[in-house]
Structure 1
Amino acid sequence: MSATSPANCPPRPVAAAARQAGAGSRQPRRPGRFLAATALACGLCLGVAACSQDTPEKTTSSAAPPATGTAPAAKAAPADPQTKRARRILVVGDSLSISLGEQLEHVFSGTPGIDMSRDGQRSTGLSRPELLDWPARLQELAAAAAPDVAVIMLGANDAMPMTAPDGSRTYFENPAWAEVYAAKARELVEICRRANPAAAVYWVGVPAMGEASLAAGVKQINAALAAMCATAGCQFIATEAAFSDPEGRFARHARDAATGDAVPLRTADGVHLTETGSKLLAGVVLRVLADREQLPPLAGLEELRLLARDLRPIPDDSRPQNRDTPVKPQKTVRPGKKTYAVRSGDTFLTIAKRLGIDPGDLAAVNPGVDSRRLSIGQTLRLPAKR
């Protein structure tokens, strides 16, 4: 808008004055009229200058806000707290959490507004502070990340006695074990909340296990964790059904409903997960997180959710057998001449891994030994080499 616009200055007869000045030039010059015209022109100039000086003040106070988003009316609305909750995601736990964390990291990698970090430690748990003190470790991680969403997966290694600060032990078979274990798990939830009072905490349950005694222990551990979450305000994500056949038994394979193929879910040890099994676990977790945390629509996220929907665990004997391959008869496990002295934190699984033997063979040659109640220095027989 110009400085002489009608919106900013009273109208002035400039054109009319010019016409009058032009008409006067064709008449004989008269000093009086010449002086009057000169005075009128000077008055017009002074009036225009005065109007031009007033214009900036009026423009600043009455101009409409610009359309660039910098005006007060265009300020961004306060962020929805539900949207902010999923900004910082922390995934922690044992070796199974490593498989989960890798898949989640693949989904969220490069996603604007989501900052994910993870820390998985093999062979660790709440009952084995000599390997890793998880409350101390999580306190360090939570202080650094202040997570909006914390995903914890611990329990696969916890079918063992719980040791109190005074050195007393509560054995796994003791009815009081569940309460002691739940109290230790609740401590991790509280650590996350101290770092961020609004943090959403999810505890991922342990999937079904191949070894019978470990499978029974997992059910007790999951029950204790689910009960803890119900009172501590965290969300328990059950995974046993996703890795069990229709009869509730451990499933090593699943059938993909989309392709009809039988695919492996678990590795040979009956504990850890294949690539497909890792994706299934992540799909089960994301099925809960995506809706509750309002995660943005991501191609990888939807792929895992669909995979979790389509994979149907099947009994091992339902897999098609290659008729050209004869079934090998089971060999009898014989004890060897060597023995092993139990160390701190040992289980049948860790001993078998360290020595390169089958954990089932180790259990077979030590039939009277409870793998959940090993004592330091206890002597175990080792199986003979096949």
Structure 2
Amino acid sequence: MTGAMDKVGTTGGRKRRAGVVAALLCLVVAVLSSAILVSPGPAAAQQRPRTILDMLFGNGLDRGQPYRISPRYRITDPETPERRPARRTTRKAKPQNPAPKAAATAPDQTAAKPAVAAKKEDAKTILVVGDFLAASLANGLKDAYEDNPMVVVKAAANGSSGLVRQDHYDWSTQLAPLIEANDPAVLVMMIGSNDRQPFYGTDASLAVRSPEWNAEYQRRVDEIADIAAKQKVPLVWVGAPPFKFDRMSEDMVYFNDLYRQAAQRVSGEYVDVWEGFVDENDSFIYSGPSVDGQTVQLRNSDGITMTDAGNDKLAFFARKAIDRYVAADQTSEAPAPGARIDLPPIAGAATAVRSPPVSLDDPSLDGGEALLGGGSRAAGIDFEPSPRDKLVLIGRGTGHVDGRADDFAWNDKSSAVASDDKPVAFRGSIDLQKVRKEQGIKPPQEMPSILDAIMDDWSQDNSQAAGGAAQK
């Protein structure tokens, strides 16, 4: 009976709690309904005091207005996101009537740029051909020769071209017309970055670096060199640099060997740029020393293309070979007829007290390739003989002092000892004339022969032995 009563009591308690919860829910719904149906205006909401319901469920303001939760935030109606204001930006207030700016106060952008030397009509042309790296090389060469009015750099590069895909761009047919149209003083070739792909033919394709592929590629490289030789234009072939990918760099090493052989076969020149874009371990680098010696970024993030500093470094390597065919220095105007020309005094290399300055970036044009004393002498001009000429050709030393160690005159040396007018020492603290009068100078005894010396030693030994026996 007691257990049944407890069970009934528990059930009744649960029913009472459920009724209380239901009554509270009904009250809340009623309050919300009244707040929605009857919404007082903002003025009324501000006049009446805030209750607990206002704090829990809002103050009953119009939903078209922003919620006043905090002055730091501006939260609009979530049902209308298109009305959300954009992010504010701090702007300076503009005057109502701004004064017009004078035209003279505007900065002149063109005046800040350095003046570029105008090219002469008879300037020599450097024609740069190849792929996208050739375009980078051409940009570097344009900056290098910008101040030289006697050199013009023209680029005829095709970024996606190569020697494999002749269906895209055929250099074997396009190169000769380019040379004839530009009449260059030197042809600069840089290609190969796009050639790591098979040859596709009508019957079959040739895999990269297969024996058949190598033979065909070498034939096309030689064909480019032959075109330059047939057009009688000097060829400067710039090798490919290393790349980020090891397999690609390995192929570039093989390509560079073919380019070197082809350029040298037609008396051209090959320029190796590999060392300028690797570290001491011969590994690819993104950054390295520039032409000014500063550490800069040479390659872009793809590990293939060049930055502006990389373009300048390519031009730095190629310029030494190019300067052999074009004038690196600016030519001066021809003097007027009858004008006086002041020439520096002529002096030999051995007797010169100073030497002209040598350009660090152009050592091949300073005469350093000629041997000392070489070259033709101008007619009618006497040069001071060097110490070598005085010794070898004339037979005299530099001092011309009798009896000195460098007196190599062709005379009898015995007279220097026996003669009274030519002493051995020209200057000194000993008076040789006084020594001759008091003591005299006797010539040394004549040296005996080997046989006489042996007989004398044997006679002296016998004499000593006989004297010893007599004493005993």
TM-score (norm 1): 0.50
- Please point out which of 193, 196, 201 is paired with 2:235: 201
In the aligned structure 2, how far is the partner of 1:233 from the partner of 1:180? 22
Provide closer, same or farther for how the CA distance between residues 86 and 159 of structure 1 changes in structure 2, counting only shifts above 3 A.
farther
In the aligned structure 2, how far is the partner of 1:294 from the partner of 1:186? 25
Task: Tell me, yes or no, if the aligned pair for 1:244 and 1:251 is still in contact at 8 Å.
Answer: yes
CA deviation map 1:192-233 (0-9, x unaligned): 3333x2x11011100011012211111111122122223233
- How many residues were matched structurally? 215
Q: Does residue 243 in structure 1 map to residue 280 in structure 2?
A: no
Task: Tell me, yes or no, if the aligned pair for 2:144 and 2:315 is still in contact at 8 Å.
Answer: no
**Counterpart amino acid of residue 238 in structure 1:** D
- Please point out which of 139, 148, 159 is paired with 1:122: 159
Measure how far apart 1:257 and its partner are.
9.0
Task: Tell me, yes or no, if the aligned pair for 1:210 and 1:271 is still in contact at 8 Å.
Answer: yes
- Please point out which of 295, 304, 309 is paired with 1:262: 295
- Please point out which of 301, 312, 315 is paired with 1:279: 312
Write out aligned runs for 1:87-236 (5 A). Answer: 87-109=124-146, 111-163=148-200, 168-195=204-231, 197=232, 199-236=233-270
Task: Tell me, yes or no, if the aligned pair for 1:162 and 1:181 is still in contact at 8 Å.
Answer: no
Task: Tell me, yes or no, if the aligned pair for 1:280 and 1:304 is still in contact at 8 Å.
Answer: no
* 245-254 vs 107-116, which moves further: 107-116
CA deviation map 1:94-139 (0-9, x unaligned): 0111111012123334644434321111121001112211122212
In the aligned structure 1, how far is the partner of 2:291 from the partner of 2:156? 33
Counterpart secondary structure, 2:230: helix
In the aligned structure 2, how far is the partner of 1:214 from the partner of 1:205? 14
Alignment partner, residue 358 of structure 1: none
In the aligned structure 2, how far is the partner of 1:126 from the partner of 1:221? 11
CA deviation map 1:325-354 (0-9, x unaligned): xxxxxxxxxxxxxxxxxxxxxxxxxxxxxx
Counterpart secondary structure, 1:248: coil
Provide closer, same or farther for how the CA distance between residues 167 and 242 of structure 1 changes in structure 2, counting only shifts above 3 A.
farther
In the aligned structure 2, how far is the partner of 1:98 from the partner of 1:189? 20
In the aligned structure 2, how far is the partner of 1:257 from the partner of 1:117? 22
Uncovered stretches (5+) of structure 1, i.e. residues with no partner: 1-84, 307-386
CA deviation map 1:296-315 (0-9, x unaligned): 326xxx79779xxxxxxxxx
In the aligned structure 2, how far is the partner of 1:227 from the partner of 1:168? 29
Provide closer, same or farther for how the CA distance between residues 258 and 233 of structure 1 changes in structure 2, counting only shifts above 3 A.
closer
- Please point out which of 318, 327, 330 is paired with 1:295: 327
Provide closer, same or farther for how the CA distance between residues 256 and 207 of structure 1 changes in structure 2, counting only shifts above 3 A.
closer
Measure how far apart 1:248 and its partner are.
0.8
- Identity of matched residues, %: 24
Provide closer, same or farther for how the CA distance between residues 278 and 232 of structure 1 changes in structure 2, counting only shifts above 3 A.
same
In the aligned structure 2, how far is the partner of 1:172 from the partner of 1:149? 32
In the aligned structure 2, how far is the partner of 1:274 from the partner of 1:210? 14
In the aligned structure 1, how far is the partner of 2:361 from the partner of 2:148? 16
Task: Tell me, yes or no, if the aligned pair for 2:291 and 2:316 is still in contact at 8 Å.
Answer: no
Task: Tell me, yes or no, if the aligned pair for 1:146 and 1:192 is still in contact at 8 Å.
Answer: no
Write out aligned runs for 1:270-349 (5 A). Answer: 270-290=303-323, 292-293=324-325, 295-297=327-329
Measure how far apart 1:168 and its partner are.
4.7
In the aligned structure 2, how far is the partner of 1:258 from the partner of 1:132? 37
Counterpart secondary structure, 1:152: strand
**Counterpart amino acid of residue 212 in structure 1:** D
Measure how far apart 1:170 and its partner are.
3.1
Provide closer, same or farther for how the CA distance between residues 132 and 257 of structure 1 changes in structure 2, counting only shifts above 3 A.
closer
Provide closer, same or farther for how the CA distance between residues 93 and 167 of structure 1 changes in structure 2, counting only shifts above 3 A.
farther
Task: Tell me, yes or no, if the aligned pair for 1:159 and 1:221 is still in contact at 8 Å.
Answer: no
Task: Tell me, yes or no, if the aligned pair for 2:150 and 2:327 is still in contact at 8 Å.
Answer: no
Measure how far apart 1:237 and its partner are.
1.0
Counterpart secondary structure, 2:285: coil
Task: Tell me, yes or no, if the aligned pair for 2:126 and 2:151 is still in contact at 8 Å.
Answer: yes
Measure how far apart 1:167 and its partner are.
5.4
Counterpart secondary structure, 2:209: coil
Measure how far apart 1:266 and its partner are.
0.3
In the aligned structure 2, how far is the partner of 1:257 from the partner of 1:282? 10
In the aligned structure 2, how far is the partner of 1:251 from the partner of 1:89? 29
Task: Tell me, yes or no, if the aligned pair for 1:201 and 1:235 is still in contact at 8 Å.
Answer: yes
CA deviation map 1:1-46 (0-9, x unaligned): xxxxxxxxxxxxxxxxxxxxxxxxxxxxxxxxxxxxxxxxxxxxxx
Provide closer, same or farther for how the CA distance between residues 257 and 143 of structure 1 changes in structure 2, counting only shifts above 3 A.
closer
Counterpart secondary structure, 1:188: helix
In the aligned structure 1, how far is the partner of 2:301 from the partner of 2:127? 29
- Please point out which of 252, 268, 283 is paired with 2:286: 252
Provide closer, same or farther for how the CA distance between residues 272 and 117 of structure 1 changes in structure 2, counting only shifts above 3 A.
same
In the aligned structure 2, how far is the partner of 1:257 from the partner of 1:116? 20
In the aligned structure 1, how far is the partner of 2:190 from the partner of 2:206? 22
In the aligned structure 1, how far is the partner of 2:265 from the partner of 2:215? 12
| Larger radius of gyration between Structure 1 and Structure 2 | 2
In the aligned structure 2, how far is the partner of 1:257 from the partner of 1:110? 17
TM-score (norm 2): 0.42
Task: Tell me, yes or no, if the aligned pair for 2:138 and 2:153 is still in contact at 8 Å.
Answer: no
**Counterpart amino acid of residue 248 in structure 1:** D
